[in-house]
Amino acid sequence: MLNLSKKQQEIKSSIETFAVLLDVDPSWATAIAMTESSLGEHQQSPTGCLGVFQMSSIAMKDLLQNMSGDDDLIDIVCGVAFLRLLMKRWKTIENATLHFCDPADRHFYLDRVKKFMRELET
C-alpha cells in the first residue's frame, strides 16, 4: 500500500471521480498519474509536459481536435477546466466571461450570462 500525502490523496480522489464519470478504470488512471508525476508531488518534466498527467501541448491539441461531438462528458470537463483557468487568470466572473467569448460579442455575452445566472439562482 502506498503512503500518500494529504495532497496526493486529494488528487487521487479527484482522478477517481472523473475516471468513473468518463468510464475509465480509476486504478489505471491513478497509476498513470502516479507514474507521471507522483500524483502531483513532482511535476517537473524536461520535455515541457505539465500537471498531474504531464500532458504535452501536442497531446492536449490532439484531445481537443479529436473529441467527438457527442462526447458530452469530455466537453464538460474541458469546459469547466477552461473556466477555472480563466478565473485564475482574470480573478472575477465578469472578467473571465469577457475572455471566454468572441471580443466582438463581449458585452452582449456578459449580459446574457448574468441573466442566466440570476435565473438559475431562483
Sequence-separated (6 or more) residues with CB below 8 Å from residue 50: 43
Residue with cell 479527484: 14
What is the reported pTM? 0.70
- Chain centroid to CA 87: 12
Asked whether 9 and 40 are in contact (CB, 8 A), the reply is no
Is 108's pLDDT higher than 70? yes
Phi and psi dihedrals of 50, rounded to 5? -125, 155
- Of residues 88, 87, 93, 91, the one with CA closest to residue 109: 93
The pLDDT tens digits of the residues spanning 4-61 come to: 999 999 999 999 998 998 888 999 999 999 988 888 877 777 777 878 888 888 888 8
